[in-house]
Structure 1
Amino acid sequence: MLLRYGETTFSLQIPPGRLLGELRTDNPASDPPFQLIDRAISDCEPYLSSFTKGEKVVIVTSDITRYTGSDLYLPLLVDRLNQAGISDRDIEIVVALGIHRHQSEQEHKKILGALHGRIRVTDHDCDNPGKLAYLGNTSTGIGVEINRSVAEADRVILTGTIGFHYFAGFGGGRKSILPGVASRRACMASHFTVLNPEPASGKNPFAATGVLDGNPVHQAMVEACAMVDPDFIFNTVLSPDKRIIAAFAGDWRKKHLEGCSYYADHFSCRISEKADLVIVSCGGFPKDINFIQAHKSMEYASHAVKDGGVMILLARCNDGYGHDTFHRWFRFKDLDSMENELREHYEINGQTAYATLQKAQRFRVILVSDLPPEEVAQMGMTPAGNLDEAMDKVATFLPSDFKAYVIPEGGNVLPVLDTVRRSTFEVPG
């Protein structure tokens, strides 16, 4: 069995008697992308038919870090707006950067496809008060400040892609507003709800991958989105190779939930038991370009590991950690002290570090990477230079009759125990 690592592969030899299974997604067949897009836009006809000439329309779309197929569907969506009487000059595309950097012209071209140079495109700026508008507070007191162009538009359309998110449950839908076009303060406040309100009470267990019901991060996003009340959404679902395999368009609540349900059906994998050992590859470059990206595979695979077991994570990380503040969080060696610092000085990278340390303390993680071994050890993990070395280390940590799962594409599959109710890891029933 070959497992991808950066731009190369490792060969894995594991006795069949030790292997519980190879966990993969079903990668469903689908119609050609343009057929899926056309059908989804047709689903929005009841909404589009109410658009009138002269109305200002804002389309919110994702930045370059989240490919959604926007270069394919945005031109078709704008053409349909033209048919409804909306001229190009009355359409603005706002790139939902959240707290990410601004995009280059070349990146705008990749996002807009054939629309580049034809339709006005602006990057959201989370730090410019003059370009933000206050809409109100959520039920937990988060002040919702969003992009002024979005707030003042006559019509708002949200676009993006649906996938698992390790503490918001799923991406897509309402996430285009918060954090997509929100102020930095609102973004930080919504992410902070990952933690339980009481000091030293840890992470909210419902702020988890594939969970919407009871998820405080999701709830904050929904409340913020309701203040905008977008006209409709257009969300895609992508295969592991970034091909559009489904599209959900229409009511921003209903269609997002339908898309989440579809994604959970096709990208979760039922298992009958947890294993002593899980060997997971992120899927190679660019999915393991840095550790923050690789953490996604680590998080999903953790659902298949017994407490006290072992995970081998293949993540080359040839671009380091992904942010220069990430590794600094591991000056804290225990969860309580890291949590205290998070509550005082919250950072998204600190939240990822906290989640990493949680897993490193729940079971042993052997990280095969290009990261300096001493820094891997500081993160609470065991460094290894290659898969063979990692397997040799396993022999010292586990009994000879261990059972294992192998996950070749860790960023695309969520293991779920048969004993877990569907409604706890998918959308509410």
Structure 2
Amino acid sequence: MKRVRLEYGDSWMDVDVPENALIARPGEDFPEPEPLEDPVEATRNALSEPLGCPPIRELVGPGSKVVIAFPDRVKGGAHTTAHRRVSIPLILEELAEASVDERDIRLICAIGLHRKNTYEEFESYLGPRIATRFRGEKLVNHDPEDPREIVRLGETDRGDVVEINRAILEADLVVTLGHTLGNPYGGYSGGYKMPCTGLTSWRSIRCHHTPKTMHREDFTPASTRSHFRHQLTEIGRKIEENMKAPFFMVDAVLDGRSRQIAVFAGRAEEVEKASWPVAGRRTEVTLEKEKADVLVLGMPRSFHYGPGMGSNPILMLQAIGSSIVRNADALIPNPVVICASVCDGWFNDEWFPSYRETYELFQRCATVDEMQKYEEDLCMREEYISRFRHAYGYHPYHAFSMLYMGGIALERARAIYIAGAEEPECARGVGCIPTRTFEEALRYATRHVGKAPRMLVIPELSKPQVHVSSRA
């Protein structure tokens, strides 16, 4: 046996696993690509030679209205050479060269259904100079619940609703920043995924963040060839048909520490075509090993969605479902999952105001899919909409979409054990089995897979993950 340290709430859980267990820590057990030596120069070069279109300075001029849309605090880093910090000043240089008046430039945080970002958060990841320079009406959060701000464009050929921020349609040019990083939703972040999830409405987002899409066979494992990804492409194209000019995207391929590996700029499909193979060399890890029958996860209390993600039972289940999606090709069908989580019932109602009621409604349902009948009620509830718009809470549909991802874990895992669950009923309430210790969970797991389990261990869910597959 060998000892592994798993993230567990606000601390760690030391456990013993078989010697042949595969430990998946990006940057340690799998090498990371070398980051760019000079991300500023690389970004400047990408802007100078964009893919599929002229540079920004040739697309606009005096009097042009420009939107720069950027991802929220959830991903991307806040270090001095992070993609947002590097790119926005260089884009502003291009616009100044084209004689665009800075009063005609607006920065929009593409939050989608995430909580609105505070000015202090803008300052932390955009840098104080940009945050101060645009503070006020020129630096805003997308608001999908403002009826004056959202325009309905109809539906795609698949019948998906397309609603978009009005500023995107009124601008002469929209520049989007994206982080091309491994993602269980459609393979990678960035590309069309950025505006289609960040600048639309819950009615548009629920067309793809829904069981009808997420519980299809082609959603797992994570792939750019899924129905989900095709939906994003069609929604993105529909939006562009109604824009004054197509999106100009500036996407950086990131490593596990949010450092740029490569930067590409230009039209959406050209940027996706160029960035995905580079991201794949960092993200897609293929091993000549037998597939694992036990997936072991270490879950901290707080990670990318915010404080309480690892103790909130819906988000805990979402993280387990995401891990199965990412690593399905390294797992046998219907593996056992052992997750170290405090699961103490702290929902963090301030950030996630609708989650507690969503969890309670789930107790009335036999399957995750049945939750769809509650969507309209909760997502139009004034209390929750007000908390989203004015008090930095997540949108109520976010809880549904997270539960639907968690439904993948319930469908595809033979059993899910929550080791160290402090509130056992919270684990049971999302279809999991609480145990006092990891050792107890492992004993139960061997009843399903035998005395010599093959394990895939992901000790730190707080870090950007790779997508593992096995071919032995």
Give the TM-score band, short-chain normalised.
Answer: 0.7 to 0.9
Tell me: CA distance 1:219–1:205, structure 2 relative to 1, closer, same or farther (3 Å): farther
Indicate how the Cα distance of structure 1 residues 238 and 282 shifts in structure 2: closer, same or farther if over 3 A, else same. farther
Equivalent pair of 2:220/2:325 in contact (CA under 8 Å): no
* SS of equivalent to 2:31: coil
Map of 2:13 onto structure 1:
10
- Structure 1: give runs of 5+ residues left out of the alignment: 197-201, 420-429
**Match among 45, 55, 68 for residue 47 of structure 1:** 55
TM-score, scaled to structure 2: 0.77
Q: Is the 8 A contact 1:178 1:224 kept in 2?
A: no
1:416 aligned partner: 469
Unaligned ranges ≥5, structure 2: 377-396
- Out of 75, 89, 92, the position equivalent to 1:66 is 75
Counterpart AA for 2:66: V
Q: Does 1:365 align with 2:416?
A: yes
Q: Name the residue aligned to 2:133.
A: 118
Q: What is the root-mean-square deviation of aligned Cα atoms in Å? A: 3.0
Whole-Å separation in 1 of the counterparts to 2:429 and 2:454: 28
Q: Structure 1 pair 43/313, CA: closer, same or farther in 2 (3 Å)?
A: farther
Matches within 5 A, 1:11-410: 11-16=14-19, 18-19=20-21, 22=24, 24=26, 25-32=30-37, 33-44=39-50, 46-50=54-58, 51-67=60-76, 69=82, 70-113=84-127, 114-119=129-134, 120-192=138-210, 194-195=211-212, 203-208=215-220, 210-216=222-228, 217-227=231-241, 228=243, 229-271=245-287, 272-282=289-299, 285-286=302-303, 289-291=308-310, 292=315, 294-295=319-320, 296-316=322-342, 319-320=346-347, 323-328=355-360, 330-332=362-364, 334-335=366-367, 338-342=368-372, 345=375, 347-361=397-411, 362-368=413-419, 370=421, 372-410=423-461
Shift of 1:282: 4.6
- Distance 1:386-1:320 versus aligned 2 partners, 3 A rule: farther
Q: 349-358 or 26-35: which moved more?
A: 349-358
Are the equivalent residues in 2 in contact too, given 1:23–1:405 (CA < 8 A)?
no
CA distance in 2, matches of 1:34, 1:333: 51
Structure 1 residue 236, shift from structure 2 partner: 1.9
Mapped partners of 1:262, 1:367: distance in 2 = 36
Percent of aligned pairs with the same residue? Answer: 22
Q: Measure the CA separation in 2 of the matches of 1:52 and 1:84.
A: 5
Whole-Å Cα distance in 2 between the matches of residues 371 and 298 of structure 1? 24
Give the number of equivalent residue pairs: 410
TM-score (norm 1): 0.84
Shift of 1:231: 4.1
Residues 117 and 220 (structure 1), Cα distance of their counterparts in 2 relative to 1, 3 Å cut: same
> In the alignment, is the contact (CA less than 8 A) between 1:60 and 1:176 conserved in 2?
no
Using the TM superposition, give the Cα deviation of residue 365 of structure 1 relative to its aligned residue in structure 2, in angstroms: 1.4
Change (3 A) 1:351 1:100: closer
Residue of structure 2 in register with 1:422 after alignment: none
1:314 and 1:127 map into 2 onto residues whose CA distance is: 37
Q: How many angstroms apart in 2 are the aligned matches of 1:206 and 1:133?
A: 31
Listed one character per residue, the Cα deviations across residues 29-80 of structure 1 (whole Å, up to 9, x for unaligned) are 1223334333333333932231212211111111222336312321222123
1:112 and 1:20, CA in 2 relative to 1: closer, same or farther beyond 3 A?
Answer: closer
